[in-house]
Amino acid sequence: MPIVKASENRVKTGVHFMLGNYALVEGAISAGCNFFGGYPITPANEISERMSQRLPEVGGRFVQGEDELFSIFACTGASLAGGKVMTATASAGFNYMQEGLGYAYTIEAPLVIADVQRCRGENYASQADVYQMRYGASGDYEAIVVCPSSVQELYDYTIWAFNLAEEYRNPVIIMSETTIALMRERLDIPEASKIDLYNRNYTSLSPEEYMPFAAPEFGCPDAAPLGAGYQTIYSLNPHDEKGSIDWDPEVFDRLYKRVCGKVKENADKICRTERILMDDAEYALIAYGSEVRPAIEAAELARECGIKAGVLKLCNVWPVPEKAISEVSREVKGIFAVEMNMGKYVNEIARAAAGRCPVVPITKNLGLVHTGYEIFEDMKKGVK
Amino acid sequence: MSELKINPRRKYLRPEKLPHFFCSGCGCGQVLNYYMQALEELDMDPRKMVHVAGVGCTARIPVYIKTDMFHGVHGRTLAWATGVKMMQPDTPVVIFAGDGDVASIGGNHLIHAARRNLDVTVVMVNNMNFAMTGGQVAPTTPEKARTMTTPYGSAEPRFDVCALAQAAGATHVERWTTTQPIQCKKAMERALTHKGFSLIEIVSQCPTHFGRYALKTGDPNAVIAWIKEHTYTDAQAKKMSPEEMEGKLRCGEYIRVEKPVYEGTNELM
């Protein structure tokens, strides 16, 4: 995997007071994004607005298309043509993108999608689409979804998302939320020389030797430039290592085991979590996205009252950081799954905890982030 | 002993993919043939081009060509093509899509790509129905025609896709039929050398579905004869009354002009 440093002309090194959506754009530009296809939707508009200004400055291309289907397919086309590509949308717009996302998973196109979740049709905060990010498209695939919890992380995780997309040749979704997307706070952008970027491997084989979908058992294939004689068919249909459309059951088996396996079998390498106040914790709050900060506040409140609480912050929700959750379930008397929806990801946490301790949902679906006090109050009910 | 003659244009095809899967009598093979003739005439190498196809019978045409191609999602050909053109403006991009792909599910992408004057060529094979799925009504099905989903006849007027593309801003539009090989080939040559959005519609026979359901014949010759009766050239039009032209498609050039092509927002910076 060729690792390079970010280009200086793309990185706005320094301390900023920046809008979350803008920080995400700066992360993408730092990561080498050179194509963005978008369609207006609130609360993601500031992403395409800033992209339309920033991309031409660094020699990239910006297109506002006719709909979200355009965005996702234009991104896939640009990605296969060698681009580092991105689109952004919000819940309702993400519905339309599922078709293109399914195609991108199957033909292994690296691309990054920012989904700024909102409540149904309105600009209120929500985490109700956490399962859609994983299971929205038809077919067999594995999703990679990172979930920033602050403006700083919108910058950092966007670079991470681009690196994951290139490393695994898989779409990567940035699960943003109205809360952090429309928040302004401090952002530290490091020097370009401190930012490592992964770029997809290009084949060194000749067109005669090259097989577009040949890869190690749980790896991803090397790419080939488009229009350079490699004669690749990028088809949604089941295809063999040569890219030839083939409905043979063995071809199905090999293709889907590898396309899913490259993410599933590398989950421990992909997943990131952070343990906060966990060293002596008897109770753990597990949270992701903008629920992380009130969860930390709740743990601090609990400690003031003599309850030894800690927080496991999930930096990505898919693939499920099973190892970290399972470890926590061995250490504590109980887990609280904090979410801004009717209770969804709690199922994954319960599955990873495998009955080793009770897993209690703490949910709120009112278009508002939990306060630390609310989480603390709910938590007290479950502490024995 | 006579030597086995190999079609010289077979060099463009993937040998492992042959024989093709088109029904006997289908026009898609003819379109592929005309296209290869155009490539040869212009000395263009499909390996240095990108071909885009959606879903349907026509979408299978570039699967047989030695080229980089996208396949398998219905109607999104022009969105893919825009992404490719933004990254590789000098790579020729040709789209093969049926009437269902271009005018039905992909209609929105068609009008906007035409409006932008995206520098690509669209070869739309119009067999007047959804053939691969078994012969359902399409936006291009003639009014009152019987299909698998219009057992009592279609109650909808049909789209004139060439007029639609021209109105949307396409800078090169032509319509021909599979019975006009020279015109098809020349039109494709003009499209491949045109800087801007080209749409070449080729009205084609589908004996398997359109023939059997709408015309009550599975004979390709009979379907071809019907197409000849239901299209006219500009020369023929001079001798026809407006009533005689009613319900028939005009073959010929609709527009061919030069306008700035779309390259993203950057050019105005």
pLDDT tops 90 at residue B263: no
Crossing angle for the helix pair B77-87 and A68-80, nearest 10 degrees? Answer: 50
Domains and CATH numbers, chain B: 27-259 (3.40.50.970)
Neighbour-count burial of A242, counting CB atoms closer than 10 A to its CB (0-12 exposed, 13-18 middle, 19+ buried): middle
Contact at CB, B16 and A244, closer than 8 angstroms: yes
B113, two tokens: 């790509």
Residues of A (201-230) whose Cβ lies below 8 Å from B: 207, 226-230
pLDDT digit string, tens, across residues A294-337: 999 999 999 999 999 999 999 999 999 999 999 999 999 999 99
B57 Cα to chain A: minimum distance (Å): 14
B249 Cα to chain A: minimum distance (Å): 29
Contact at CB, A65 and B91, closer than 8 angstroms: no
What pLDDT score does B264 carry? 80
Residue located via tokens 């019987």: B146
Contacts of A186 by beta carbon, 8 Å cutoff, 6+ apart: A15, A16, A17, A151, A152
Residues of A (62-121) whose Cβ lies below 8 Å from B: 62-63, 65-67, 69-83, 85, 99-100, 103
- Residues of B whose CB is below 8 A from A75: 83
Segment A22-41 shows an average pLDDT of: 97
The answer to whether the predicted template modeling score (pTM) of the entire model surpasses 0.90 is yes
Which amino acid type is present at position B76?
R
Residue located via tokens 């390259």: B263
Neighbour-count burial of B19, counting CB atoms closer than 10 A to its CB (0-12 exposed, 13-18 middle, 19+ buried): exposed
- Residues of A whose CB is below 8 A from B72: 103, 235-237
Fold exhibited by the domain A274-382: Rossmann fold (3.40.50)
Which amino acid type is present at position B113?
A
A41, two tokens: 């939707």
Tell me the C-alpha to C-alpha distance, in Å, between residue B42 and each of A56, A227, B22, B53, B204. Answer: 34, 17, 27, 22, 24
Give CA–CA dist B26/B46, Å, rounded. 23
Contact at CB, A234 and B47, closer than 8 angstroms: no
Give CA–CA dist B53/B70, Å, rounded. 6
pLDDT tops 80 at residue B2: no
Residue located via tokens 């749980």: A218
Looking at the predicted complex, does its ipTM rise above 0.85? yes
Q: Give the pLDDT band of residue A2 (cuts 50, 70, 90).
A: confident
Contact at CB, B87 and A83, closer than 8 angstroms: yes
Q: Which residue in A316, A300, A298, A324 sits closest to A382, CA to CA?
A: A298
Q: Give the pLDDT band of residue A123 (cuts 50, 70, 90).
A: confident
Q: What are phi and psi of B268, to 5 degrees?
A: -90, 0
Query: Would you put residue A373 in left (φ > 0), alpha (ψ -120 to 50) or beta?
Result: alpha
Q: Where are the domains of chain A?
A: 3-198, 274-382
Compute the radius of gyration of chain B from its Cα atoms: 18
pLDDT digit string, tens, across residues B9-37: 999 999 999 999 999 999 999 999 999 99
| CATH code at A3-198 | 3.40.50.970
pLDDT tops 90 at residue A119: no
Q: Which residue in A65, A72, A123, A68 sits closest to A102, CA to CA?
A: A72
Segment A105-132 shows an average pLDDT of: 92
Q: Are A373 and A301 in contact (CB under 8 A)?
A: yes
- Residues of A whose CB is below 8 A from B82: 37, 63, 65, 70, 74, 77
